[in-house]
Amino acid sequence: MKEQVEKALDKIRPALKRDGGDVELVDVSSDGVVKVKLTGACCGCPMSTYTLKQGIERALKEEVPAVKEVVSV
């Protein structure tokens, strides 16, 4: 599942990079929790929670149905 998540993140990265940010995959647990680290302009951005839940989590759930939640670490 980790490879599927990484491929899905690769599709999201161009949008994040346009705004000066990026996302790093930290871990994928067996219960479907994906841990990521927001970097660049995303780190500390007031909209980062929205980006995480409405952007990254939504896209990952569409691409990888086994994903239950995405959390920032």
- Split into its structural domains, the chain has a count of 1
What CA–CA distance (Å, rounded) separates 46 from 41? Answer: 10
d(CA 27, CA 24): 9
- The pLDDT assigned to 38 comes to 93
Helix (H) or strand (E) holding 21: strand 21-28
Q: Which of 40, 35, 41 is nearest to 56 (CA)?
A: 35
Q: What is the pLDDT of residue 44?
A: 80
Spans of the chain below 70 pLDDT? none
Domain assignment of residue 32, given as a range? 2-72
**Residue 69 burial class via C-beta count within 10 angstroms: exposed 0-12, middle 13-18, buried 19 and up:** middle
User: Residue 29 region, left (φ>0) first, then alpha (ψ -120 to 50), else beta?
Assistant: beta
- What predicted TM-score, i.e. pTM, was given to this entire model? 0.90
CATH number of residue 30's parent domain = 3.30.300.130
